[in-house]
Amino acid sequence: MTDTITYREALREGLRDALKSDGRVFMMGEDIGRYGGCFGVSLGLLEEFGPDRIRDTPLSESAFVGAGIGAALGGLRPIVEIMTVNFSLLALDQILNNAATLLHMSGGRLNVPLVIRMTTGAGRQLAAQHSHSLEGWYAHIPGLKVLAPATIEDARGMLQTALLDPDPVLLFEHGALYNVSGELDPAAGAVDIDRAAVRRSGTDVTITAYGGTLRTALAAAAELATEGIDAEVIDLRTLRPLDEATILGSVTRTHRLVVVDEGWRSGSLSAEIAARVAEKALTELDAPIERVCTAEVPIPYAKQLEEAALPQVSDITAAVTRAVG
């Protein structure tokens, strides 16, 4: 028996499970208590668990991320919410210079079991200070694990797995997915975060995507199927460490690769994937690697300009058509 649930509700159920199962778990962030979270993910949790477990913080990302690091060092299991990935840059010193480095700098003595959740991505007309996809930046940093749940099941289960990790984990939730609904087994629990997932099998071309771009890639694959092109779609799921083996295995079968990434093209996650495939499977490729990325501009506010800047189904099908020839 499965229930219909939204991505937002699945995240909330994951948070509720974590709070119920482990007394060390607590949440902190801006407006997560009385307001229920900027995107409504934590709605109702304050009433259920109280202000000691659901803590509203001042508007200072550096301060409350730093407090989360301290709590993790002290033996708790904090879940810190940052409203959007753009605002996380205000806490970059804490994330990069403290959370990611303390294990190394302490000679393996100081783990930081911290989970940081944040909304990423565009498509909602929130303009340039609320809409960028910077998860590729964080995937550049050793000492962090970077997750991007694209499905209802992963939204529910990735948090549970992340809380078991002794080191910092960043969870990027694409804002355009919050209202997406799907089926979920009420007994669903932790999921494997070490491996990418083949969401659609195919033989002609490999398409890699993650987070908010997965649905776009799957829609493109469905459209391509009507033209006789059989695309395999891989959901990366974890951006650091990348599941290189699944990507290379797929490319070895299809001999073509299209990388979809909502980040900017220059210095991007798409560039990293393309480089690794070129380094380790160049002779398997029958066509140049194609990349479909966001236009290299601040995300526009106007709806038609925002859509023009972001990877669309038509951009992916055109890239695949070029690759397949």
Q: Which of 315, 283, 309 is nearest to 209 (CA)?
A: 315
Dist CA 122 CA 120 (whole Å): 7
| C-alpha distances in Å from residue 60, one per residue of 86, 117, 174 | 13, 16, 22
Q: Per the residue annotation, which of 9, 81, 130, 290 is the catalytic one?
A: 130
| Residue written as token pair 């493109």 | 220
CA dihedral 322, 227, 215, 238 (to 10 degrees): -50
Residues 184-221: b if buried by 16+ CB within 10 A, e if exposed: beeebebbebeebbebbebebbbbbbbbbbbbbbbebb
Q: Per the residue annotation, which of 13, 61, 135, 290 is the catalytic one?
A: 61
What are the residues whose beta carbons fall under 8 Å from the beta carbon of 238, sequence distance 6 or more?
A: 145, 146, 147, 148, 193, 194, 195, 196
**Residue 274 near residue 280 (C-beta atoms within 8 A):** no
**Residue 17 near residue 188 (C-beta atoms within 8 A):** no
| DSSP three-state, residue 254 | helix
Whether 30 is a known active-site residue: answer no
Whether 48 is a known active-site residue: answer no
Dist CA 192 CA 160 (whole Å): 10
Write the DSSP symbol of residue 132: -
**Residue 73 near residue 112 (C-beta atoms within 8 A):** yes
Active site residues: 61, 130
